[in-house]
Amino acid sequence: MAESNHIPEDVRQAVEGVRPAADIRLVAFSDLAPDGNFGEQFLALADDRLLVFSSDGERPALLKDLPFADVSKVEIETLVGGAALRAVVDGRREDLISFSHAMSDAFGRVRIQLDALIEGKPLPEVDERATRCATCGLFLGEYTRVCPRCLRKGATLRRLLGLTKPYTGRMVLIGSLMVGSIVAGMVPPFLTMLLVDRVLTLGTNYHLVIWLVLGLASAGLAHTGMEIWRNRIAAWLGARISFDIRAQLYERLQWLSMRYYDHHPTGTIISRLTQDANGIQDLLAFALPFLVVNVVTIVAVSVVLLAMNWKLALIAMVPLPILFILVRKLWRLLRRAFHNWWYRMRRFHGLVSDALGRVKVTKAFSQQQSEIGRYQFRNDDLRAAGVYADATAGTFFPLMWLIIGSGSLLVWYFGSMLHMYGGITLGMIVAFLAYLAMVQHPLEFLGHSTQWITRALTAAERVFEVLDAESESEQSRGEVELEEIDGEVEYRNVGFGYEKHQQVLKDISFKVKPGQMLGLVGKSGVGKSTIINLLCRFYDADEGEIFVDGVPLRDVSLWSYRGKLGVVLQEPFLFSGTVAENIAYAKPEATPEDIMAAAKIANAHDFIISKPDGYDEQVGERGNRLSGGEKQRVCIARAILHDPALLILDEATASVDLETEQQIQEAIGRLIEGRTTFAIAHRLSTLRNAHKLLVLDEGRIVESGTHDELRAKKGVYAKLLDIHRRTSMVGAIDG
Amino acid sequence: MDKRQGVQEASSLELRYLDPEEVRVWRGEDGRVYCTIADELTVLTPMFMRSHPLSDLERYLSVRGVEPKERSVAMGKEFGLLRNWHRLDPHSHAIVEAELERRYLYAKVFAILSVRDYSGVQVCEFDTDRGLRQVTLRDVRDNVIYLGRSRVLVTDAEGNRYDIEDVNELDPDSLLRLARIL
């Protein structure tokens, strides 16, 4: 999309071909040709016409020309694998332009802009969500800004090394031990050379043997000792840095805004905490030290070999580049083969766990034979992948050793020739072979380490992305500290959308007096929970203002405000711990008597006491050892103990039976006394006593009043009541 | 119950299979598509949706329509299912075929021209029945799935779908590149 002064020249020419000197207000390009093939067409709003051009030919061809004044609405029709922008003209829907999912966001913005113009508003600026790399255009999605293609490895590495700053002493020690162990590792071949040349070849100097053997033993011991020491420190350091990163990440995650969580699935966040943090540990504890050790070893050995005999050194090094290239290529093949095997193993596990989990159903429908068939197919698939992976590995390693061995063969051949002509000693040949063996493993490592290091750096960048994300505290620096809240709430012309181009709430205005109960009613997806999300200040309103006790909510200090809120949700959330700990979650200093008093009011005391461990009963992970109604009452007890001035009940009785609902209703009745309460309820009868009901439809308030007023009105609420009454009758009959 | 009522009520109570000879699809003078069922009911802006878009392209088309009072583009009500839409009259058949082509934007992959891996993100170039396309793949092991033994459905990072109808029909280089993707 572009403003008229950024219109490409060919587009301008095309538009002016049909509308001379037109004011081009917006242009949007599709990635599909009119016939559905990948190609290009574009939509332009020029003067008062909506124009669509195909731009696949030499000159753009006009496909559609609609008077914009006739368009009453613009819609996006979701197709399979793409979508189409359509205009509603005289009640008819007219296809304008099709596009693939790649362009969905862009056309979402076009729809908003066109709709705004239809409503007579000025062309709005619509936030463009960056889903592509700004540098190379690679699609990144919404969940990351890290482009693996453009990753600046140097900068990431520097920042990563910054994490080791608190441990500089240990890093220096690791570096010193590394150098020491390399030097110690280079001593034995030299001593071996002396042993061969000065003792074994001459057959004299027997007194030297003891010193040389002692030297070999000392070098071996020093090398091993320093390696052990270095490895132990590296292991400590790696774990410590990983610990630090996970701690920083977790702390950051607690303060990140809800918008961040909306755009980052839980699985992605967990993988930041686990896989990415481990990737960094691997890099710092293993990959980087290995890299340094191996590079230094290769350089040091090369220098020594060249110094001993440069001609033989060059000959010995001939296979090394081949080894390096081969390892790089074959390692990729090997990795792919094992990944493939691992993927099939995962699918195989999925099949088995799925099949065993539904064994009763399988038997009930006599499907054992088909299950065996499915299993055999996956098993065969896994077998083939295993054979390929093992066969590849079985070919890779012998080939590698052959090439490694070829270096030794060259040394034997040319070394022997030189020896015969008196160029070098026998000891030197032996030392050459030993030094050569020292660089073969480092070369092998270097061959496949690039990808390992790149992956770890990408992981590090993803971790930094979370650490750098804007936190709630940064977004919500309200100045006003609320000591006490009376509970007056006012929404004034509030508009909001989770995505800026999709408004969920439109022009919402209402006022609730302190201590009143407000019921929110409407079908799913009409914006009831969104009103509550704004009250909790999980999000800030895009338009209008929310006031609490007359103070604009965005000026209120988040921490002082949230402490005055109490929430009971449809899905009661308990954490692993005792019943008492769960009730006292928001008030850890509560006494056992406070906790029991709250539980009593919440109709929870009796069931808690009847548990073997009473208030010390472990509720299990997510409270799974309690029933739905029990969990809900523990949550209500939690809210009672918290004693909030503002209470939010979001479908608190949606998933319980009638008897439990009655108990919960009683508990809620006691809870809401004297508190401003916002309630969403699936069962409309539970809102009968609300001071005011707001009926929502498509993000707007369509009716408001008391239960009796709205019932008498015979509007949307009355219709919902009727549906509810009929459903309850069916439920009662079924029950 | 008159015929028109029967057509409408079938959508809420039971599946109604339409006789292709009773269904007529045509383009009106205003350029829009109409569909008449049993000469009784004209569906405005009909939508033709495959019930089995991956496993059976040729059978079971759901004929749906948007009611004029509906404000958003929903799926609309189902007015019936066509078991064999190829038995529609040639004119209707051509329009339905074009509508299906418009709705189902799958691309059939003929060849995989290149694959480049950037730390687990793969950028590939596909030669498809809709032309050449550069696609970005993430989490390939979840987004590249085998349907049966030789058919592969690829979903790219943006949600676009690519169908390799038979991997055995790919040229050896493409097959090798597919193995790299997997």
By C-alpha distance, the chain A residue nearest B129 is A37
CA-based torsion, A89, A95, A97, A103: positive or negative: positive
Contact check, Cβ <8 Å, A92/B32 = yes
One domain for residues A336 and A402: yes
- Give the number of other CB atoms < 10 A from CB of residue A64: 19
Instruction: Pull the structure tokens for residue A170.
Output: 């240990």
Query: Over 70: is that where the pLDDT of B3 sits?
Result: no
CA dist A138 and A132 (Å) reads 5
Chain B residues near any Cβ of chain A (below 8 Å): 30-32, 45, 53, 66, 68, 71-73, 101-107, 118-121, 123, 128, 130-133, 136, 138, 141, 149, 156-161, 179-180, 182
Among the candidates A412, A440, A473, a domain finishes at A473
CA distance A256 to chain B (A): 25
CA dist A688 and A696 (Å) reads 17
One domain for residues A249 and A381: no
Beta-carbon contacts of residue A436 (< 8 Å; ≥ 6 apart): A301, A305, A316, A407, A408, A411
Nearest to A79 among B105, B120, B158 (CB): B105
CA dist B104 and B50 (Å) reads 9
Instruction: Give a yes or no: residue A619 inside a domain.
Output: no
Beta-carbon contacts of residue A365 (< 8 Å; ≥ 6 apart): none
CA dist A145 and A155 (Å) reads 16
Instruction: Give a yes or no: residue A614 inside a domain.
Output: no
Comparing C-alpha atoms, which of A300, A305, A292, A280 is closest to residue A176?
A: A292
SS3 A93: strand
pLDDT-based confidence at B10, cuts 50/70/90? Answer: very low
Instruction: Give a yes or no: residue A194 inside a domain.
Output: yes
Residue that is written with structure tokens 């949600």 in the block: B159
Contact check, Cβ <8 Å, B119/A102 = no
Instruction: Give a yes or no: residue A35 inside a domain.
Output: yes
A494-515 pLDDT, tens digit per residue, is 888 876 556 788 889 999 999 8
Which stretches in chain A have pLDDT values below 50?
1-5, 731-735
One domain for residues A687 and A733: yes
For position B69, what pLDDT does the model report?
A: 47
Partners of residue B145 in chain A, C-beta under 8 Å: none
Contact check, Cβ <8 Å, B105/A91 = no
One domain for residues A150 and A267: yes
For position A727, what pLDDT does the model report?
A: 67
Q: Where are the domains positioned within chain B?
A: 3-103, 107-181
Instruction: Give a yes or no: residue A406 inside a domain.
Output: yes
One domain for residues A301 and A314: no
Burial class (CB in 10 A: 0-12, 13-18, 19+), B25: buried
Chain A residues near any Cβ of chain B (below 8 Å): 32, 36-39, 75-82, 84, 86, 91-94, 98, 100-102, 104, 138-141, 148-149, 151, 336, 339-340, 343, 346, 377, 451, 454-455, 458, 698
CATH of the domain at A64: 2.30.29.30
One domain for residues A60 and A153: no
CATH of the domain at A530: 3.40.50.300
B13-72 pLDDT, tens digit per residue, is 577 888 999 899 988 877 778 888 887 777 777 888 888 887 777 888 888 875 544 444
**N residues, chain B:** 182
For position A732, what pLDDT does the model report?
A: 46
SS3 B76: coil
For position A491, what pLDDT does the model report?
A: 93
Instruction: Give a yes or no: residue A634 inside a domain.
Output: no
Is the CATH code 2.60.40 the one for domain B107-181? yes
Nearest to B102 among A36, A139, A149 (CB): A36
Write b or e for each residue in A269-305: b if 16 or more Cβ atoms lie within 10 A of its Cβ, otherwise e.
bebbbeebbbbbbbbbbbbbbbbebbeebbebbbebb
pLDDT-based confidence at B4, cuts 50/70/90? Answer: very low
One domain for residues A204 and A316: no
Domain that holds residue A105: 4-118
One domain for residues A304 and A323: no
The identity of residue A220, as a single letter, is G
Instruction: Pull the structure tokens for residue A197.
Output: 């040349």
One domain for residues A296 and A325: no
For position A657, what pLDDT does the model report?
A: 66
One domain for residues A163 and A261: yes
CATH of the domain at A173: 1.20.1560.10
Beta-carbon contacts of residue A539 (< 8 Å; ≥ 6 apart): A257, A258, A259, A496, A498, A533
* A–B CB contacts, 8 A cutoff, strictly below: 98
Q: What is the DSSP pairing of strand B59-65 with strand B47-50?
A: antiparallel
Query: Over 60: is that where the pLDDT of B11 sits?
Result: no
One domain for residues A329 and A215: no
One domain for residues A208 and A240: yes
CA dist A446 and A294 (Å) reads 8
Rounded to a whole number of angstroms, the CA Rg of chain B reads 20
By C-alpha distance, the chain A residue nearest B106 is A81
CA dist B92 and B33 (Å) reads 10
* Total structural domains within chain A: 4
